Amino acid sequence: MRVAVVAGPDPGHAFPALALCLKFLAAGDTPTLLTGVEWLDTARAAGVDAVELAGLDPTEGDNDADAGAKIHQRAARMAVLNAPQLREMDPDLVISDVLVRTAPGGVIPYDVLIACLGAAPIMAVPGAVTFGGPRDIPAIQELLAEIDAGSANSIAFAYGGGPAWPFPLAELALLTATHTRRRGLPAEVAFVTPESEPLSMLGPAASATTRELMTGLGITIHTDRYPVAFSGDRLSLVPHGELAADRCVSIPRLVGPGLPGLPQDDMGFIPIGRHAEVIGVNDVFAAGDATTFPLKHGGIASQEADAAAEVIAARAGAPITPQPFRPVVRGLLLAGRFGARMQTELSGGGGDPEPPEPVTLWSTPAKLYGRFIGPYLERHAGVRATADEPGDGTLEVDVEIDPAAQPLRPVG
């Protein structure tokens, strides 16, 4: 069987796609990976045919500040640009995480549908620098330069609530505080969150470790406050107050795709059950940031997809017993010289923290957990997917969280 696997160039997309190609290859199929040019040699070295995915280069006006409309425009442009080479390949199966295209008004029949969709980022705190990923690194570098020059002496890192993954914002605060401390600079760093504790969605142990790391670096923590706007040198807070700051950094808030024909909540997210089945319709599953599961993370998405795949395989006659979605988040919280590796099981149990281990500044060891991406990174990139021995710096946390729970709602 000829299989085309289409994936964006981010490691969280490209590595699982390559791992999937290797599975097809081992099964005797002929996979071709379409992804960013930076991964083509890696795929070919692993024995997988790989070609460039057209349309990845941003065009003038591309940004993520418009409720995601331009993200969908980019996906549509990529679908058009890649249609000729997909037709030439004539695959029996196309697996894509970035594009779908039918004829105008076309309908694709299915026995089972898996909607593996992302969410659209929107600005959470107007006036703040919004950090949404690698494309925003220059803005953070500019901020550090201003700190070094003495033109920015107070920086607020503001989490606006709502569906998101606030881990990177906590990291930025910790790394910025480490930067200022190492250089003996007077800059003050603050972290603002509507949560009762920083990263409280990951449970009390993870939250306590985050607070310890922040206070140890002199970061002032403001809890139970929604940051709603940054103007001049003031960050407005709800329900009351404001915070003086020379600069403010935030992360995007996410909104669901609002896919017509599928159930959705008032923010456009798709409700799922314990096996990632879409609630309210038959033979439809969903995985990814588009679901109502409150944590938005690549590892969570892969585990949702695993749960759905097991049900589908069992229906097709595979001798397995489908297991319910059991969300586990594993990550490394960077804090300069020292960090905390965290594992959070969001389905109950108990856990104890271990001391953090030394890490290298800006290093990013295994930050995603999934059936395919973890083993692939460990095998091909020399990155451990999990900790093997007790006391190695892993913070394991088991937290009782309802998978249907809603995140803190944004203000406004």
User: How far is 242 from 26, CA to CA, in rounded Å?
Assistant: 58
CB 396, CB 357: distance < 8 Å: no
User: Residue 119's pLDDT is what?
Assistant: 86
CB 288, CB 272: distance < 8 Å: no
User: Residue 98's pLDDT is what?
Assistant: 65
User: Residue 224's pLDDT is what?
Assistant: 94
Reduced 3-state DSSP string for the chain:
CEEEEECCCCHHHHHHHHHHHHHHHHCCCEEEEEECHHHHHHHHHCCCEEEECCCCCCCCCCCCCCCCHHHHHHHHHHHHHHHHHHHHHCCCEEEECCCCCCCCCCCCCCCCEEEECCCEEECCCCCCEECCCHHHHHHHHHHHHHHHHCCCCEEEEECCCCCECCHHHHHHHHHHHHHHHHCCCCCEEEEECCCCCCCHHHCHHHHHHHHHHHHHCCCEEECCCEEEEEECCEEEEECCCEEECCEEEECCEEECCCCCCCCCCCCCCECECCCCEECCCCCEEEECCCECCCECCHHHHHHHHHHHHHHHHHHCCCCCCCCCCCCEEEEEECCCCECEEEEEECECCCCCCCCCCECCCCCCCCCCCCCCHHHHHHHHCCCCCCCCCCCCCEEEEECECCCCCCCCCCCC
Would the pLDDT of 263 be above 90? Answer: yes
Would the pLDDT of 389 be above 60? Answer: no
Domains contained in the chain, CATH given? 2-116+257-315 (3.40.50)
Would the pLDDT of 131 be above 50? Answer: yes
Q: Is the Cα torsion angle 137, 143, 145, 147 positive or negative in sign?
A: negative
- Cross-strand bridge partners of residue 235: 230, 243
CB 248, CB 156: distance < 8 Å: yes
- The pLDDT tens digits for 157-206 are 999 988 878 888 998 999 899 899 989 999 999 999 999 999 887 778 77
Cβ within 8 Å of residue 266, ≥6 positions away? none
Query: Is this structure's pTM higher than 0.75?
Result: no
Looking at every residue in the chain, the average pLDDT score rounds to 78
User: Residue 231's pLDDT is what?
Assistant: 94
- The pLDDT tens digits for 28-55 are 999 999 998 999 999 999 999 999 998 8
User: Residue 117's pLDDT is what?
Assistant: 82
Which pLDDT band holds residue 396 (cuts at 50, 70, 90)?
A: very low
- Mean pLDDT on 66-86: 70
Question: Residue 69: how many CA atoms within 13 Å on its side-chain side?
Answer: 4
- The pLDDT tens digits for 62-74 are 555 544 455 566 7
Would the pLDDT of 332 be above 70? Answer: no
User: How far is 186 from 150, CA to CA, in rounded Å?
Assistant: 8
Residue 164 CA: distances (Å) to CA of 91, 160, 263, 283, 407: 36, 9, 21, 28, 9
In 10 A of CB 239, how many CB atoms? 9
Picking from 52, 10, 31, the residue whose alpha carbon sits closest to that of residue 95 is 31
Indicate the Cα dihedral angle 189, 194, 196, 201, nearest 10°: -100
- The pLDDT tens digits for 269-281 are 999 999 999 999 9
